[in-house]
Chains A and B, each alone.
Chain A
Amino acid sequence: MNKKMNRSIKDSAFISVLKREWIRMISRKLYFGACIVLPLFSIFFMATIFGSGQMENIPVGVVDYDQTATSRSVIRTVSAVPTFKVTEYYIDDISARNATQKKQIYGYLVIPPNFEDNLLNGNGATLSYYYHYALLSVGSEVRGAFETVLQTLSLSPIVVEATALGINESLIESFLVPINTQSHPLYNPDLDYSVYLSNPFFFILFQVIILLVTVYSIGIEIKFKTGNIWLECAKKNMVIAVLGKILPYTAIFVIMGIFANYVMFGVMHIPFSCGFWPLNLTTVLFIIATQFLGVFLFSLFPAISIIISIVSMVGSLGATLSGVTFPAPFFFPIIYYLSFLFPVRHFIEINQNLLYGDYGYAYTWQNVAALFAFILVALLLLPHLKKAILSHKYENIR
Chain B
Amino acid sequence: MKILDKIKYKIQDIISIMISEFSTIATSYAILLVLIGGIFVYGFLYNYMYAPNLIRNAPIAVVDNSRTALSREYTRLINAAPQVSVYTNAADFPEAKELMKKKEVIGIIYIPEDFDVRVNRGNESIYIMYGTTDAFLYYLAMQESSSGAMMAIDEKYRPEMLVFLPQQDTPIITQSKAISVVGTALYNHTEGYGSYLIPAVLMVIIFQTLLMVIGMISGDEKNTGALSIYAGREKSFFPVSRIVLGKTFVYCSLYFIFSLFLLGLMPVLFSLPNIGHKYEITMLMIPYLLASSFFGLAASVFYTDSESPLLMIAFFSVGLIFLSGVSYPLELMPWYWKVAHFIIPAAPGTLAFVKINSMGASMADIRQEYITLWLQCIVYFIFAVMAYRYNIKKCMTQKTRKEIGSFM
Q: Which residue numbers of A lie inside 8 Å of B, CB to CB?
A: 28, 30, 33-34, 38, 42, 45, 48-52, 55-59, 97-98, 100-103, 106-107, 119, 122-140, 143-144, 146-147, 150-151, 153-158, 161-162, 165, 167, 170-171, 173-188, 191, 193, 196, 201, 204-206, 208-209, 212-213, 216, 219-220, 223, 304-306, 308-310, 312-313, 315-317, 319-321, 323-327, 329-332, 335, 352-353, 356-357, 359, 363, 397-398
Contacts and interface: CB of A to CB of B under 8 A. Distances in A.
Nearest to B357: A134
Interface stretch (B7-15, B158-166, B263-271): B158-166
Interface in B142-181: 143, 146-147, 150, 153-154, 157-158, 160-162, 164-166, 169, 172-173, 175-181
A38 B179 contact: no
Contact of A132 (B33, B46, B136, B187): B187
B294 to A, nearest CB: 22
B333 A51 contact: yes
Contact of A158 (B33, B176, B319, B355): B176
Contact of B129 (A52, A133, A182, A213): A182
Given A143-B183, A156-B179, A51 B334 contact: yes
Contacts of A38: 311-312, 315
Contacts of B37: 309-310, 313
A103 B188 contact: no
Interface string B355-393: 100111100010000000000000000000000000000
Contacts of B74: 179
Contacts of A130: 183-186
Given A157-B177, A162-B169, A51 B307 contact: no
Contacts of B191: 133, 136
Contact of A30 (B153, B188, B308, B318): B308
A143 B184 CA distance: 9
Contacts of B134: 327, 352, 356
9 contacts: A45-B319, A50-B332, A150-B179, A177-B154, A179-B157, A183-B146, A312-B310, A330-B55, A398-B30
A138 B188 contact: no
Contacts of A183: 129, 131, 143, 146
B179 A209 contact: no
A343 to B, nearest CB: 15
Contacts of A213: 311
Given A161-B173, A312-B313, A359-B101, 12 more contacts: A56-B332, A101-B361, A128-B181, A150-B179, A162-B173, A196-B136, A313-B38, A315-B315, A319-B318, A320-B50, A325-B135, A398-B220
